[in-house]
């Protein structure tokens, strides 16, 4: 039985997806959300891309949307492991871990690791 295991090329693509997602989440957290000057400027009515991203991230955090989506995508990947589902779940999980949805995103990361024990698509 062949297990779900990405090839070397697919692993490189997954690394790029994960690092880009992680980098954007770190940028958003430390340059937009935690900066007091940015928060004051956005509250005063500044209409920029950074303020819009900050506002969306805060709304998603308050409702635990990022963590919930990460768990749902990881469950889909656990049920039918594919490279696209894994990449999408990895990206959302990285966002959730950095943007304060750690509990659900940690569960999603565990489910992603568990998906490596599943048979590859097309195997029974």
CA 61 to chain centre: 13
Residue range of the domain that includes 47: 9-117
Residue 66 lies in a domain: yes
Residue 27 lies in a domain: yes
Domain count, the chain: 1
pTM above the 0.95 mark?
no
Residue 54 lies in a domain: yes
> What pLDDT shows up at residue 62?
96
Question: What pLDDT, in 10s, does the model give residues 90-102?
Answer: 999 999 999 999 9
Residue 41 lies in a domain: yes
Nearest CA to 17 among 88, 72, 74? 88
Distance CA 22, CA 30 (A): 12
Distance CA 81, CA 54 (A): 33
Partners of 119 in the beta sheet?
3
Residue 1 lies in a domain: no
Residue 34 lies in a domain: yes
Question: What pLDDT, in 10s, does the model give residues 6-18?
Answer: 999 999 999 999 9
Does pLDDT of 57 surpass 90?
A: yes
Residue 4 lies in a domain: no
Residue 123 lies in a domain: no
């Amino acid at each position: 039985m062949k297990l779900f295991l990405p090839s070397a090329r697919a692993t490189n693509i997954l690394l790029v997806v994960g690092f880009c997602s992680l980098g954007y989440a770190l940028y958003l957290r430390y340059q937009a959300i935690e900066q007091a000057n940015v928060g004051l400027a956005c509250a005063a009515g500044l209409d920029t891309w950074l303020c819009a991203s900050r506002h969306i991230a805060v709304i998603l955090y308050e409702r635990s949307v990022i963590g919930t989506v990460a768990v749902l995508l990881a469950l889909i990947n656990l049920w039918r492991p594919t490279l696209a589902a894994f990449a999408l779940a990895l990206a959302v999980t990285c966002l959730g871990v950095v943007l304060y949805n750690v509990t659900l995103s940690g569960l999603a990361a565990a489910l992603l690791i568990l998906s490596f024990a599943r048979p590859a698509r097309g195997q029974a």
